[in-house]
Structure 1
Amino acid sequence: MKKEFAVIGLGRFGGSICHALAEEGMEVMAIDVNEDRVNEFARIASHAVVGDTTDESVIKSLGIRNFDHVIVAIGDNIQASILTTLILKEVGVKKITVKATNDYHAKVLRKIGADHVVHPERDMGRRIAHSIVSNNVLDYLELSDEHSIVEIVANEKLSGHSIIDLDIRAKYGINIVAIKRENEIIVSPQANEKIQFNDILIVIGADVDINRFEKKVMS
């Protein structure tokens, strides 16, 4: 069965989610107070609706409580974002993801019951900064304030050494959870797996440990 999603707020963030979900073949209801924005998504989403989601009667009339997942992507009005999230929670929506514009906004959203809070601008900024600072880092995904998953390109220092020889877990407190090698992905590599030059190591751990590993081994 197709999952049903509702996206509230059709700016760049919400709009990109609508596009991506529609491309995956999901049922998507696109909602915004701006009629022009809604018209843009009339052919993309399964349903495109003009509506003020700070009005509980509007949310109830759209039957949003029956959707599998609702994404609140309202970016320019924190009050509307908070009130919409609160109403969604009260009517019994199963899962709610909300875009936060700052840390205070995120804290309030968590307090009122948002299942997942995202900071797209902040997170993208950190990913770009991380890749700029280190030539070996391809991608960076923040798991929490202190832990991340990072894609690191293996250099000559690592090439030809096995995971057990390098003893990365004991020395740095991080784990290599997978290795990308050309068209192959090695998941949970064995301790005797030898790292090859230009392998992409998918590493998970605390940010301080990952940074220590980058500076010591990757520089």
Structure 2
Amino acid sequence: MSLPEPVRRRLSSFSRTVFTDTSRTGPEYQRDNIPDNEIVSSLPLQMSLYFNLFFFPFWWVSSVVMLQLKYPVLPDYYKFILVTVIILTSLIEFIRLYLGYMGNLQEKVPELAGFWLLSLLLQLPLILFLLLNDGLKIQPLERAVNIIFVIFLVFQVISAFLALKRMVNQLATRFRLHEFDRLDDELPPDNLAWKERRTETSWIVRPPVEEIHSTVGGWGSTVRA
């Protein structure tokens, strides 16, 4: 299963706009001599996703148990808000982890950009709401698991941002190199032959300057005679 094509195009355009390094002026620019086929998946991000995958069921069980215990003493509007937030957080987390795995392991920029946007714009504000809103009658277990969740999210936002920059810059380098190779392939045969003749003639040894001067002097004495 992959993202719909319109969503992929929009995320690709967003990634090129936000994460492209504008200091790269051409395919000859290779920072730190990074090879073109280097694996740019982020190991710290993948480790964070792996541990997050095992942590999320524990967070969900803790949140549901605490909700059941404090549900009778909560105001009606907080009951609705808390239930809605837990449902939204659960749905977003499944999508977020899937996009993170796909984008990082397979080096797919749209999926990883979707993971980064979901983490930064949706999941992190929801967890901060659960952590900082005292009207929800936050219990110690809830506070502990939400703090751990926030740490996961902040780390993943930063590491995904760095991984996206590397992926987008490498894709831009590959594209420019491919364009240069295609221009060389499309060069007419006459131009290629002209380039070869020019290369060969550049290696012809010209006569020394002294020999030229002596030849010119000989011609001048002949003319005077």
Normalization by structure 2: what TM-score? Answer: 0.21
Normalization by structure 1: what TM-score? Answer: 0.21
Per chain length, whose mean CA-contact separation is higher, i.e. which structure has more relative contact order (CA < 8 Å, sep 6+)? 2
The structure with the largest strand share of the pair is 1
